[in-house]
Amino acid sequence: MKELAIGGFNLDYKSKQSRAEAINCLLEAEGNFYSVRSCAGLTNFVDTTENAIQSDLIFSDNLIFFVAGNDLYQLDKLGNLTNHGTVGGAGRRVLMSNSIPDDNQILILNGNGQAYVYQPTAGLNIVSDADFYASSFGSVLNERAYLARDLTNQFFASAVSDMTDYPTTAFASAEVASDDVVAPIAHRGGMWVLGTRTSEYWQYTGDTTFPLRQMKGAVYQRGCAAVNSVKECGDVFAFLADDFTVRMVSSTQMTKISNLPFELDVRDYTRTDDAYSFFVDDTAHKIYYITFPTQKVTWGYDFVSGQWHKRKSKDLDYWKINSAVSAWGKVVVGDSASGKLYYLDASAKTDAGDTITRTLRFPSISWNVDVTIPLIELDMETGVGLESGADPLMSVSYSKDGGNNYIEHSQMSLGKVGDYGKRVPVRQFGRVVRYRDFVVELNFTGAVEFRIYRAFIYDEEGL
């Protein structure tokens, strides 16, 4: 008998390759012990009736701001929507707030080289300053917007407390290399300037003309591959780097958080520069989600467990959620396939009524002799039952060629409500040839909690 690894790699198995995958479920770790549980579902909040949420959600002055369709919306805690007007543009819009007390400004970059500013006392207006340049990304530091000047190695700043005004002298060039600036991102009182091939840290000086200067030695030979993959949450930010890794930055230190399966997959994607990301930050998990819309894949990195998983929505290969913000004690999320907003809800077992299919694929395992596998036993939650009173079922499949082809094994009962002592043995997998990777996959669509603690495989040498 061996214990099957649930997450990550288990080098003791001497497997040629790991096919492990978790879809719509989270790997949770305590030391070397992993368990798997359902990702949160969705509960309806409001519907803008637009065709899609087109931006991040930002929380400012106790309100959420976002772009749906081509319009700027405001949302309050009670679900009241206000349409502030049209910003137009194309693709993913970028929003930021300068957090001026009682009269904050919201800057909207519309993806077509234009910018708009909304302010409660002035309404929504286009930025017409001659020293504003087309920009795809920016962030705010000490009430000033800092924006990348697209297709150049420059970035520029607004006036203090006024993101409609751009002084002629308030600009700088990335100093380490001549690559284009992709994203200046405010972080811990300073500014990281991400280029296409390099990244450098700038300190705040307070100079009235341009209050930043490059910190000598705080440079990394790594650039940003997708402008909308740059996202900050608390004391860290993360982005897709030019070597197909995901990098995390904390203070002036940059580290790699992606693993080999992620990196090998992303290298084969037909397009990566259109990737976008957001953070889900709740009481139990901080997760960086990155979606590749051309490839139609969503990956998530959990900072708590250090593990990656994937998300998918019904009838899609990716997660339709494209934005999130923590507000009013909840995580509010936006829908890329409609103008709807939802709450992430750990107690919701569906995506606002849509079935969630949860998949767990164990890391592959191989032997140096032929073996027969009479039994795999799962230690998991049972006796949960469905609201209808029916017995929830889990389908089991397996592969004997490293995950290239799968064979349907059976459907297993997880027990009616209250049948907590139910065991989940899966029998008779037959013979596995030596050095061939054996993979087990579980699929579950029941609207109940899905949780697995441990798995054991019984193997016998020979036929």
For residue 343, the domain's CATH number is 2.130.10.10
In this structure, the answer to whether residues 392 and 345 fall within a common structural domain is no
Which one has a higher pLDDT value, 420 or 3? 3
Local structure of 154: helix, strand or coil: strand
Exposure letters 186-215 (e unless 16+ CB within 10 A, then b): bbbebbbbbbebbbbbbeeeeeeebbbebe
Q: How far apart are CA 7 and CA 390, in angstroms?
A: 30
In this structure, the answer to whether residues 366 and 450 fall within a common structural domain is yes
The predicted model gives 139-167 an average pLDDT of: 96
pLDDT at 191 over 90: yes
pTM higher than 0.75, yes or no?
yes
Tally of structural domains, the chain: 2
Confidence tier at 387 by pLDDT (50, 70, 90): low
The pLDDT of residue 246 is 98
The pLDDT of residue 11 is 43
The pLDDT of residue 14 is 45
State the residue for tokens 């990244």: 199
Of 80-94, 252-266, 312-326, the poorest mean pLDDT is in 252-266
In this structure, the answer to whether residues 225 and 264 fall within a common structural domain is yes
**Which residue, 322, 353, 384, sits at the end of a domain?**
353
The predicted model gives 269-297 an average pLDDT of: 95
Which one has a higher pLDDT value, 260 or 163? 163
Amino acid at 219: V
Confidence tier at 449 by pLDDT (50, 70, 90): confident
In this structure, the answer to whether residues 234 and 364 fall within a common structural domain is no
The pLDDT of residue 144 is 96
pLDDT in tens, 94-120: 999 998 888 899 999 999 999 999 999
Angle at 238 between CA 234 and CA 241, to 5 degrees: 165
Q: How far apart are CA 301 and CA 338, in angstroms?
A: 25
Q: Count Cβ atoms below 10 Å from residue 360 Cβ, excluding itself.
A: 26
In this structure, the answer to whether residues 299 and 446 fall within a common structural domain is no
pLDDT in tens, 210-259: 999 999 888 999 999 999 999 999 899 999 999 999 999 998 889 999 98
**Which residue, 310, 337, 353, sits at the end of a domain?**
353
Confidence tier at 31 by pLDDT (50, 70, 90): low
DSSP code of 229? G
In this structure, the answer to whether residues 217 and 317 fall within a common structural domain is yes
CA gyration radius, the chain:
25
Q: Count Cβ atoms below 10 Å from residue 392 Cβ, excluding itself.
A: 23
DSSP code of 364? P
The predicted model gives 413-438 an average pLDDT of: 84
DSSP code of 261? H
Which domain range does residue 397 map to? 2-39+359-461
Helices (H) and strands (E) in the chain, counts: 1, 39
Confidence tier at 276 by pLDDT (50, 70, 90): very high
The predicted model gives 139-152 an average pLDDT of: 96
In this structure, the answer to whether residues 19 and 51 fall within a common structural domain is no
The pLDDT of residue 335 is 97
The predicted model gives 403-413 an average pLDDT of: 90
In this structure, the answer to whether residues 380 and 406 fall within a common structural domain is yes
**Which residue, 318, 353, 388, sits at the end of a domain?**
353
What residues does 59 pair with on adjacent strands?
64
The pLDDT of residue 15 is 46
In this structure, the answer to whether residues 428 and 301 fall within a common structural domain is no
In this structure, the answer to whether residues 125 and 136 fall within a common structural domain is yes
In this structure, the answer to whether residues 266 and 148 fall within a common structural domain is yes
* 353: Cβ contacts below 8 Å, ≥ 6 apart: none
Starting at the edge strand found earlier in the chain, the sheet holding 330-335 runs 41-47, 340-345, 330-335, 321-327
State the residue for tokens 């990656």: 308
The pLDDT of residue 404 is 86
CATH code at position 432 = 2.60.120
The predicted model gives 339-361 an average pLDDT of: 94
The pLDDT of residue 252 is 85
What is the average pLDDT value for the chain, to the nearest integer? 91
Q: How far apart are the first and last CA of the chain?
A: 16
In this structure, the answer to whether residues 136 and 232 fall within a common structural domain is yes
**Nearest one of 27, 8, 24 to 260, comparing CA atoms:** 8
